[in-house]
Every structure is written in structure tokens, then in C-alpha cells.
Amino acid sequence: MAMIIDGKAMAMGIRKEVAEKVADLKKTTGVEPKLMVVLIGEDPASTIYVKNKEKACKETGINAETIRFPAEIKEEEVVAAVKEINRQKETHGILVQLPIPKHISEEKIIEAISPEKDVDGLHPNNLGRLLKGGLPWFVSCTPMGIMEMVLSTGVEIKGKEAVVVGRSNMVGKPTALLLLARHATVTICHSRTTDLKEVCKRADILVGAVGKPELIKGDWIKKGAVVIDVGINRSEKGLVGDVDFKQAKEVAGYISPVPGGVGPMTIAMLLKNTLTSAARSAGYHLE
């Protein structure tokens, strides 16, 4: 039976630490970390995610403000608004809540964000630095959370075989690069990979981030593997991940649940990135 990686408990610990450092930053420098969230349209899931982020910021002493645009807004208006936020010295982090309406280029909006305020780690400058093995201003929040969860197991990453199922710029590719930076042998695959089951069975560390409900079954998993489930899928059973949790927990050594796994860690990493940006702007050294 697998050990459960409790992302909710881990995230609470990180949020407590962030709150303490935010308080010290304010006391020492007078700087209050500020996050600006850009929300376009009224997608119900996005609205809930933004409320959760605002609540988390408030609880840790970070000032969060959301700019809401109607779904029919023109692309150039959003770009201009983002560039204006870049110029605000009191704003340390900018996050565009995805997805956005199809008539607006996600790429153009993200490219408009200053890399130094891109706390979601999606700007090409930050992704490119990560690819080169250098230090990006920020790493995408979900991959950061995934790595914290893997490290919490105490399992040695160096030399291990890691498989990431999913190739998105937000999760799959950055996660693979972070694992590679820790000297894992990494395979990126996806729903079209030939004999996906056999590839997954090789993994000492398996990350499911493809967005297909319970795609990864128990017999796809190597005995004792670390399994991180990034998927959040609505089904007849309620919220389920990309991994069949009931089957997988009988085989894996460590496994993250859905919900209560990667989701809370993603928000915790967003808070951490926003604090880091504010501290840099103030010349304040975080321990």
C-alpha cells in the first residue's frame, strides 16, 4: 500500500512560512507583495480558481487584485493593460488566468508580461532559461509543486527513470526539465505514445498530466514508484485524476491524491513566487 503524499498539508506548511516572511518583509522594508490577476470572461472554473488565489493571498498577507475584462474584449486592449501593469512598481506578480477566449492569442498576452513579474513562469524568457539549464526568474507553479512533492518522499532522483505523461508548456515540459536538472533519465510522452502502458511501467517516478480521467491504471505502474497525479477531471465519480487512484495505491510506493495533492501545492508556489518577486524588488534576502 502506497504512502500518500499529502499536498494539502505540505501546502499549509509552505503558506505559513510565506506568511511569516511576508510579515518580516513588510516590517523590514515597508514593501507589501502584490499580485495582479487578469481574468477575461466569466468561465465558472476560472472564477473559482481566482477566488481561491485571492483568498490564499489575503491569508498570507499578500495584496491581490483582479482585473476583470469581458469575454469580447479585443486582444490589443488586454496587451495594453498588461503592459501598463508591468510599469506599476507596487505590483510584483502578474498572472493571466487561463484559459482565455479563443479570439485572443494566449501567446501574445503571456509575452506581454515582464519576465521579472511572470510569477506563473510561462513567459518564453523563463521557459527558455529553464531549457538552457540556467536560472529563470520564475518556474511555473505546478511543476514547482510537483518537485516539492517528489523531494518530500526522500527518494533519490539522480539516475532514476522518470516518465511525464503530458507535454504542455505549463506542466509537462517544465516538469521534465526540472527532473532532468536533478539527473533523472526523462521520457516525455502523451496520449498518442505507442504502447504508453509499457513506457509508464519503466518509471521510478511517474507524473500524470495529460488530462484524461483515470488513464493510468494500476498495472501501468512499477512496484514502489513515486506517482504524482496532476489531472483534475470531472466524472460520474466526482473529481478524479489521470491515475486510477484505487488501483495505483496498491502498487506505488508513494502517490498523490486528487483532490488534495498537486492543486494546493500550485497555489502555495504562486504565493512563494510572488513573495520572491517582492523581495527582489526590495533587495531583501530570503533565507
Q: What is the pLDDT along the chain (287 residues), one digit of tens a residue?
A: 899 999 999 999 999 999 999 999 999 999 999 999 999 998 888 999 999 999 999 999 999 999 999 999 999 999 999 999 999 999 999 999 999 999 999 999 999 999 999 999 999 999 999 998 878 999 999 999 999 999 999 999 999 999 999 999 999 999 999 999 999 999 999 878 999 999 999 999 999 999 999 999 999 999 999 999 999 988 888 889 999 999 999 999 999 999 999 999 999 999 999 999 999 999 988 87
Whether residue 100 sits in one domain with residue 170: no
157 in a structural domain: yes
Whether residue 248 sits in one domain with residue 151: yes
Whether residue 194 sits in one domain with residue 242: yes
128 in a structural domain: no
Total of domains in the chain: 2
**What integer pLDDT is reported at residue 158 of this predicted model?**
98
Exactly one of 21, 117, 118, 120 is catalytic; which is it? 120
Whether residue 146 sits in one domain with residue 257: yes
Which of the listed residues 62, 95, 114 is the one where a domain comes to its end?
Answer: 114
- Does residue 197 have an active-site annotation? no
199 in a structural domain: yes
255 in a structural domain: yes
186 in a structural domain: yes
Whether residue 154 sits in one domain with residue 45: no
**What integer pLDDT is reported at residue 31 of this predicted model?**
97
Exactly one of 97, 160, 249, 272 is catalytic; which is it? 97
- Rounded to whole angstroms, the Cα distance separating 227 from 183 reads 18
Exactly one of 53, 117, 173, 249 is catalytic; which is it? 53
Whether residue 186 sits in one domain with residue 222: yes
Q: Which CATH number goes with the domain that contains 195?
A: 3.40.50.720
Whether residue 156 sits in one domain with residue 110: no
- Does residue 244 have an active-site annotation? no
129 in a structural domain: no
Whether residue 146 sits in one domain with residue 106: no
**What integer pLDDT is reported at residue 69 of this predicted model?**
97
**What integer pLDDT is reported at residue 237 of this predicted model?**
80
What pTM does this model have? Answer: 0.95
Q: Which CATH number goes with the domain that contains 35?
A: 3.40.50.10860
- Rounded to whole angstroms, the Cα distance separating 266 from 258 reads 13
Whether residue 183 sits in one domain with residue 100: no
253 in a structural domain: yes
Ordered strands of the 63-69 beta sheet: 63-69, 34-40, 93-96
Whether residue 243 sits in one domain with residue 157: yes
Q: What is the span of the domain harbouring residue 108?
A: 30-114
Whether residue 253 sits in one domain with residue 147: yes
- Does residue 229 have an active-site annotation? no
123 in a structural domain: no
Whether residue 190 sits in one domain with residue 105: no
